[in-house]
A and B are shown apart, each in its own frame.
Chain A
Amino acid sequence: MGNVLNQIGIENYIFLSVILFCIGVFGVLYRRNAIIVFMSIEIMLNAVNLLFVAFSTYHQDAQGQIFVFFSMAVAAAEVAVGLAIVVSIFRNLGSIDIDNLKNLKG
């Protein structure tokens, strides 16, 4: 089959990616729960990955997908470490409400 973009058009992918990214940002700003915030960050990363793959098809180049590869690896590592941090915060403070983390005040 030909370039699927002939049917869909690259600008739709751009809009979709932008909206997903903004939803991710919205989630980060809206919720207090650290886990949900994390999930929103994952949404953001996914939006970006989607855009990369779309442009890889647009340019007919594999390098976009390679970058997605590495992005996923980094996302995995980040989630592991981040969740470990959330667990220690939970152990110290008893809750994972991010509005309780105020020691940087001043």
Chain B
Amino acid sequence: MDTNLALLLLLAPFAGFLINVFFGKKLGHTVSGYLGTAAVVVSFVVTLVFFLNINQTGKAVEIKLFDWLSINNFKIEFGFLLDQLSLLWLMFVTGIGSLIHLYSISYMHDDENMHKFFAYLNLFVFFMISLVMGSNLLVMFIGWEGVGLCSYLLIGFWYKNQDYNDAAKKAFIMNRIGDLGLLIGVFIISSLFSTLNFTELHELIAGGTQSGNTVWLAAAALALFIGACGKSAQIPLYTWLPDAMAGPTPVSALIHAATMVTAGIFMVTRLHFLFDLAPSVQDIIAVVGAFTALLAATIGLVQNDIKKVLAYSTVSQLGLMFLALGMGAYEVAVFHVITHAFFKACLFLGSGSVIHALHGEQDMRKMGGLRKAMPITFITMLISSLAISGIFPLAGFWSKDEILMVSFHGNKALWVIGSVASIMTAFYMFRLMYLTFFNDFRGTDQQKHHLHESPGLITFPLIVLGTLAAVGGLISLPGNSWLNHYLAPLFSEKAHEAHHLGSTEYILMGIATVGALVGIGIAYAKYIKQKQLPESDENITGFSKVLYNKYYVDEAYEWLLVKPINALSRFFRDYTETAVSGFVFGFSKAANEISYQGKKLQNGNVGFYLFAFVLGVCAIISYVFLAK
């Protein structure tokens, strides 16, 4: 029974993908859209069933389908592990996925390739489910690669624009670089433990028998973290995520805010027992996370494209999650993943609503005063912005404060960096809100006449997500955390006491709230009181220019990596390829030459043939009779 339900969970989106690929065009826009949505809703319902079940029993469900690879004592089976962590992930992946599918029915309605879009979205959900549900590293890797593929397909969805194609390639290639690290980690683990199954690894590693292998364990952990960097856009593999905004907004919401980019955090949490044994790697994770948070926040301060601001915000928040992971506080990171999924998806979908209303305009300098024309969008985005800034009592306040508290107890310097990043977050989020929704409209008159709120299929997901962003914090209140209690069986070997709300904690909460209010206040002063506008592209100077050009990191990568590799491949093409093909063709040329010379034997002259005849006879009889 469990196996069948699990297979239904996994394969419903895949069936949706197949139907939309083969029959989508014939089914028409509406039917293919609802079909795709229905597939994900089915998965969500099945997830709910499993979720309620595990809440009751508390026992994970491990399903083995078949033996995939079996060499000596190294066995990899193809199976699923439905424990608390994977079910939690599945809940918000399929839940938010369903909402975004619903949203896309209206958003992509005018696109001629809508059925293809839904096919790709379904395929993505299928791979994400496979990533989360896998019982061993290899099944997870299938999903890992698959979501990378779908990300490429969806970013480059409007393929007629070459810039979008380049962005898609960039995302895929950077992902692949991370995947190399992941694979190296998988290889090290498999050579150390001869198994890739999560439960078996948990027993082997947490059993404490690996104290002699700390170097290799640390190497594996580091390699796995590099894989997580690629997928979750940390330094140095983060530059693909802002460029990935070339894809349609539902894609940005689903993949690059709520689900795919959380895969790295999922993996680290899954293998927490490994990371716990490598404290040096944990330090690296924390430092990388903190610096990424700060770096991305600074870049987001001056961006003018509404989606780019949200993209850098995502990178920054992911950095905060890794900061929590680096401190060993896995439940805190998971909490922030969930709340971030809620408000970031809401923000992205809201920005999509705005872009849709303005017929494709994404530059905030041409927006303004939209709150009267689009009230629902405005209110939901406002709630989400307050949440991300960490204002009490919305969801982001609780999760972000937990992170800052944990980092304060771990490493004060990183706490400072995280706090500064949070203040900047508040600033640029409200900069976005003020520029988009307040003051007067700065676009064309024609756009002004057509301004209206988006249809129901777009606003309904916004409302749901906005509500979740508001009340989502309830799942993990300090002192009474349902989430910690729920995840406790996974972290059984760690004695985890609930956060003690002492005076330090209250002071920290206070500092964080004051910081957020300061950020909002500065934005208010700049954009409402003084009605300042960001400069047009030519007039940006000084340090703002550096920030606007993202610290020239892309250009640095171009010079350091892309150009040498291109030169290397040109070298191979010009020299090695000519040498090898010359060698291979040399054989055919030699054969040709030999036969050309040999052709001269056949000159048609019978007299000459007779000479050859006699010579041959002499040779044969001398060989037979004389060569003894």
Contact = CB atoms under 8 A, between A and B. Distances in A.
| A adjacent to B, CB under 8 Å | yes
Interface of A: 25, 28-29, 32, 98-99, 101-106
18 contacts: A29-B607, A29-B610, A29-B611, A29-B614, A98-B606, A98-B607, A99-B605, A99-B606, A99-B607, A101-B606, A102-B603, A102-B604, A103-B604, A104-B602, A104-B604, A104-B606, A106-B599, A106-B604
Interface in B599-620: 599, 602-607, 610-611, 614
A104 B605 CA distance: 8
Interface in B579-607: 599, 602-607
Interface of B: 599, 602-607, 610-611, 614
A105 B611 contact: no
Contact of A105 (B602, B607, B610): B602
A34 B59 CA distance: 105
Contacts of A106: 599, 602, 604
Contacts of A101: 604, 606
Contacts of A104: 602, 604, 606
B608 to A, nearest CB: 9
B604 A105 contact: yes
Given A25-B614, A29-B614, A105 B606 contact: no
Nearest to A28: B610
Contacts of A29: 607, 610-611, 614
A100 B607 CA distance: 10
A104 B604 CA distance: 4
A26 to B, nearest CB: 10
Contacts of B599: 106
B605 A102 contact: yes
A36 to B, nearest CB: 12
Contacts of B611: 29
Given A32-B607, A103-B604, 19 more contacts: A25-B614, A29-B614, A98-B606, A98-B607, A99-B606, A101-B604, A101-B606, A102-B603, A102-B604, A102-B605, A104-B602, A104-B604, A104-B606, A105-B602, A105-B603, A105-B604, A106-B599, A106-B602, A106-B604
A98 B611 CA distance: 13
A98 B610 CA distance: 11
Nearest to B603: A105
A82 to B, nearest CB: 13
A22 B533 CA distance: 113
A29 B612 CA distance: 10
A17 to B, nearest CB: 15
Contacts of B614: 25, 29
Contacts of A98: 606-607
Shortest 7 CB-CB distances between A and B: which pairs? A105-B604, A102-B604, A104-B604, A98-B606, A101-B606, A105-B603, A98-B607
A16 B614 CA distance: 20
B144 to A, nearest CB: 63
Nearest to A31: B607
Nearest to A103: B604
Contacts of A102: 603-605
